[in-house]
Structure formats: C-alpha cells, structure tokens
Amino acid sequence: MRIGISDLLKWLKDGVTRLVEHIKALLVKTHQKEIGSVLLVGGIADSTFVQNELKTKLHGINVLAPGEDTWTFVKGSLLFGHKSVSTNNSAKNVKNMLPPNVISKKIMITKAQLSNKKYLVVAAFDFGTTYSSYAYSYDYNEQNIKANDIWRSNDPSASLNSLKTPTTVLLDKQGKFHSFGFVAGDEFARLIEENVHDGWRLYRRFKMILHNNKDLSRYTDVEDIEGKRFPALSIFAMSIKYLRQHLLVAIQRQISEIQESNILYVLTVPAIWDVAAKQFMGEAAAEAGINNDRLLLAFESEVAALWCVRHCRSGVLQLIGSKYIVVDLGGGTADITVHERQPEGDVKVIHQPTGGAWGGVKVDEKFFEYLEDVLGKGVLEELRKTDLEDYYTLIREFENKKRSDPISTNRLTTVRIPSSLIQIARKRQKENSTSGNTEAFRADKLRIDSLIVKGWFETTVRPLLTHIKNLLIQENIADVRTIMLVGGFAESLYVQNRLKEELTGINIIVPDEAGLAVVKGAVIFGQRPYIFTSRVLKYTYGIEVYDKFDERMHPKEKLVIMNGIKKVKNCFQPFVRANEGIPADHCVTHYITPMANVSLISVYRSVLENPKYTTGADCEYLGTLMIENPESVSFSNQEKEVSFMFGNTEILVSVKHVDTGREETLILNCL
C-alpha cells in the first residue's frame, strides 16, 4: 500500500495544530506567562516537520529538541532512580528538574568562547564498510557523549531503529548525490519496484577498495550494484558530507548559536591501513567541506578501547600496567592492537597494529557462493541483469537475517528466495547449461543447516583465532589475559562464543553497544589526542641519501662520483625503525641546503629494522615531499630544518626556514 506524502503531511498537520492550540491555551494561564521555551521529546519529536511547525506557530517561544529524543524517558528514569527529584511545580524548582547540560550549555556559549581556540564540540565519524555513525560531545565532557539513534529503514524485514545507518550512496541519473544510508537503500528499492531506476546508481561496501590496495590513487573508482563505475574519492566525499550535514543539524537543533569553526572533527580508520589509504580519507574529508586544521584521524581499535576502559566494570582494566588486546571486528576488516594502561588514564601501544580482511562481509560472500552451488553457477549474475529488484531484495534479506538469526541455537536458518531466481535456475537446468538443485526449496524459502551457516562464519573466525593465538605467544604479550571485542560484527553471539571456547584462560569483554564503541571512543580521543603516549611502528621509515663509498662494504654498481668524491647511491637513512616504540611527540629533524628552485625529498619504508638501500626488494617508495625555494635568495643561504613526526596517527612533516624562522606544513603525497 502506497500513501501519498501530501496525505501523511495532512495527518501530521492536523495533530500538530491541535497540539499548538493546547500549548497556547497553557501559555495564557497566569502561572505560565514566564515560560519562554518548549522542550520537545518522544518518538514523534524527532520529526523535522513537527519541529518546524511548532517553531513557526509558537512565536517568541524557543522550541528545543534534544538529541536522542526517543531515549529521553528511559534515560531520565535512570537519573530519577539515582537521585530523587522534587515534584514541586514552583518556578525555582523547574530549572533544577532539567538535565544540567540543557540549560548550562545555552548560558555558557558566549562570543568570548566562540573566539577561543578550544573547541566547543568534538564530533566523530565512524565510517564503516557496511554501517556508519557519528557521535559528539560539548565542552570536552566525555561523560555525556551523544550518538544519533534515529536511523530508520522502511524495509519491513529490517529493524525500525538502528544505532547505525548503511554505508550506501545513491546517485541520480545526472550522477549527482541523492541520498545516503537507509534512505538511499529504500529509495533505490522503490525505483526498481516501479521500474524507473534506469540511470540511477547505488554504491555500497566501497570502503574495502582502500584495504591493502597498492594501486590506490585519486583516480581509483568503485562499482555500483550493476557494475557501473564512478570516482571513489567523490563517493567517499559525498558520504562524509552527508554525515557532516546530518550532524550539524542535530547540534544546531540544541545550540543554534554554534559555528562550525568551533567543531573539531575526528574520522576513524583501521590501524592496519596503509599511509595512502589514510591520506585518501583525509582528502575525501576535505572535499566534503571539513577543514584539515580541524580534522584528526583516529585508529578504530585504539579509540574503541578508550570507551571500553572508561565504561567497563572490569577492575583489571583500571590497574596501572594492565595489558589487553583490542579486536575491532567490522564489516570489512579485523583491526587488532595491544595496549598497556599508564598513569593518569594514558595508554601505551605495545605492539604494531595487525589484522586482516576478516569482517562480516565474508559471511555474505559465502552465502552467495552457497546459492550458486545449490542453484548453479551464473544464476545470481543473470538475476542481477534481468531482475534487479529481486536481486537487491535478496541482498537486504540476508543482511537482516545475518544480524538477527541466532545460528548458535537454531538447527535451520531460513532465507526467503525470490521466485524469479528459482525460475532462472530451473530454466538453466532444462537447457543443461548448469547444474543445480531447486528441490532444496520449499515454496520460496531455503532452509540451510546451521552447520553450513557456521562454516560461513568460520571463514572469518578461524584466521582470526589463529592470529590471536600467535600474538599471545609473543614475549611482551604472553601475560595478556584480557581481550576487548568491539565493532558491529563483534555483536554476533556465534563469534563471541567461538572466541570464548578457543581462548581458554582469556577474559573476553564485549561492551554494551559494541558497535558504538569506536565512534564514542573517537570523541574521547578528540578531547585528548595525546592520550596514547606511544605507538609501535610496523615499518622502518627514512629517506634516500648519498653516503661515502667504502669498497669493503658497498657494491661497485652503487658507486657514483660527485665533485671528484666517491659516493654510494640509494642509501637508506632510517629515521625510525620497525617494531620500535615511538613517543606520540617523537620528532626527527633533517637539515637540507637547496641546490635548485624545488627540493624533492623521497620517503621510503621497509619491513626490515636495518635496511641498507632503498632499492631492496623489501623496501618501498612511499611518497615525495616538495619544498619550493625562492630565486631571490642565494640557495646557500636557504638552509631548512625538515622535521618528521611519526608517533601520531598520521606522518606529519614541517619545514622551518633557518634564516627567517618561518614554518610551514608539508604534505607527504602517497597517492
């Protein structure tokens, strides 16, 4: 049944009109004349239409719609249980009955504060392979971190509300952004149902294009659900821009005076990602309208631990010197780091980031492989080409089934299969073009033995367990007895139980709302960027230099003559070494005197701790720094300090002109 938007708005408007009349009647009463605000809460309160109608019709009244509208009652009940509140309706008690941040945040924001360098809001985006979300806090208050909880889908097989929204982008026929998340998926489903989808493009699960991609560049593209390609950088930027705009609306609903220049953004990335992938995300954020000076990149597994440690009841995690492993299981990857608690809440990373492509999407891949084994090779591709509506419905059906079906207890898992797919399979069997077994179906349902489904999950669980066991036998990790399991895929009971079964003697901690641990922890990281006192590097980083030639040490093919002096070319000069613990503020300075209008510094890395040459098989060119040198000053008088900072989530490079003291930031171009 399809209902016109005009009818829906009419029904809403009728209800709002009666509500406005009731509020106005209250306001004319003697005891309510001093009221200047209306606090709007409850499920329907998050309707933009309702909010705008009240703001328009209640002149002179400040209509406030706090975040997490649908949770207001239950969270307020918890506050009531912790501290009784007087029910006296006198004016002096009304103020005290409101949550403290509702009033204090409005009062505290002044012009003086808006011009202060300290950010009023720290906001974070968790940009996932399958799902994304955001969270934020005011005035560096890590006890009151808000996350959007009203992502909704019109898909009847999906949950009404979700803590995250799908990482899905819909483009219109002109290749322009149309929508993101549940809205994009629902709209595309409507378009193909009405057979007017031709020219529209739906992009999903495109984040994995950045994982371990040695050919990544600004010109990399991604495929939509029909195989049509589009520049990846634009798709990522559109996604981040949507999340940014959605966030700004949420913040400005509560504090209309705030400017975006007073918001610090944090964007999460897997710690195991390459430097180029991190740069790609930074450039996508810039294209989405986020100023690079107000952007921090955060490692997903690291920041998830920040949230868990602060909100976990385990006393072990609060002890100085305690060690723990963090396993962030998302849709695409497993991101693993090892931490040690330090004084004053700081954290020391004691092992280089590790992990692999062991996320939840592998289960989906195995399901589709199973369908082709049952129905015959090529049937899914034919379904995609001939009946996109049913193909997309099948994808959504299994995604919802995977998230909700208790495979640990059920003997059979039932998946609804489109009749068009069964017809394709039967037709291909009659033509002897493929083998298959359509008898496995009962009507439009496929019942799959739980042992088979568990096997799909094992494609990710087995390599994950092997990896963790190998970590636990390393000398500096052997005494670890606690593992934090976070991320959307970590909410799977099957995954949790398998880790508990295999890792005997290890305490497996899964926090409440494990899928939000990353984004809420990222807010804490934005409040305290140097909370991680040190990190362990996976690579040795350095630059290419000429050294004095020594025939006892250097091969003759490396010999060059420079100004009559024997030199050896392609020497690797290390700045920091692999497996070395680097403080967060670690800085290495290299002095150069230019010889031309432009100085180029090539940066290399190696998995070896002591690489000799940049041309070795285990050495990799990373990127180039470009420094411009003015012709108006003699090159010999333009000595520069080039400083590399390796202990942060990004490689930062700055240049100081020795003669003038002027400093500038350089970008290491890896794309």
List, edge to edge, every strand of the sheet that includes 168-171: 177-180, 168-171, 201-204
Query: Cα–Cα distance between 484 and 518 in angstroms, integer?
Result: 12
What pLDDT was estimated at residue 409?
A: 63
- How many angstroms from the chain centroid is the CA of residue 216? 19
Tokens standing for residue 324: 């723990």
H or E segment and range at residue 93:
helix 91-97
What pLDDT was estimated at residue 207?
A: 92
Please enumerate in sequence order all residues whose Cβ is within 8 A of that of 621, keeping only pairs 6 or more positions apart, or say none: 602, 603, 604, 614
Q: What is the three-class DSSP state of 244?
A: helix
Query: Cα–Cα distance between 185 and 188 in angstroms, integer?
Result: 5
What pLDDT was estimated at residue 447?
A: 84
Encode 465-477: b = buried (16+ Cβ within 10 Å), e = exposed.
bebbeebbeeeeb
- What does the angle CA 207 – CA 213 – CA 216 come to, to the nearest 5 degrees? 85
Q: What is the β-pairing status of strands 334-341 and 347-356? A: antiparallel
Q: What is the three-class DSSP state of 466?
A: helix
Tokens standing for residue 317: 């995690």
Neighbours of 390 (CB within 10 A): 19
What pLDDT was estimated at residue 436?
A: 55
What pLDDT was estimated at residue 133?
A: 92
What pLDDT was estimated at residue 579?
A: 87
Q: Which residues of the chain have pLDDT under 70?
A: 1-5, 7, 28-34, 43, 46, 66-117, 149, 154-161, 312-318, 403-410, 432-443
Q: What is the β-pairing status of strands 640-645 and 587-592? A: antiparallel
Query: Cα–Cα distance between 551 and 383 in angstroms, integer?
Result: 67
From the list 414, 404, 495, the residue with the least C-alpha distance to 457 is 495
User: What burial class does residue 191 get, using C-beta atoms within 10 Å of its C-beta: 0-12 exposed, 13-18 middle, 19+ buried?
Assistant: buried
What pLDDT was estimated at residue 147?
A: 85
What pLDDT was estimated at residue 243?
A: 95
pLDDT tens readout for residues 415-451: 888 888 888 888 887 776 555 555 556 667 888 888 8
Angle of the 361-375 helix axis to the 419-430 helix axis, nearest 10 = 40
Encode 204-230: b = buried (16+ Cβ within 10 Å), e = exposed.
bbbbbbbbebeebeeebebebbeebeb
What pLDDT was estimated at residue 246?
A: 93
Which residue blocks in 312-387 are alpha helix, DSSP H?
Answer: 361-375, 379-386
End-to-end, the C-alpha distance of the chain in Å comes to 50
pTM of the entire structure? 0.75
**Are 113 and 261 spatial neighbours (Cβ–Cβ below 8 Å)?**
no
What pLDDT was estimated at residue 503?
A: 93
What pLDDT was estimated at residue 252?
A: 85
pLDDT tens readout for residues 70-94: 556 555 654 545 443 333 333 333 2
Q: Residue holding tokens 């107000």?
A: 294
What pLDDT was estimated at residue 476?
A: 84
Query: Cα–Cα distance between 58 and 386 in angstroms, integer?
Result: 53
What pLDDT was estimated at residue 90?
A: 35
What pLDDT was estimated at residue 89?
A: 37
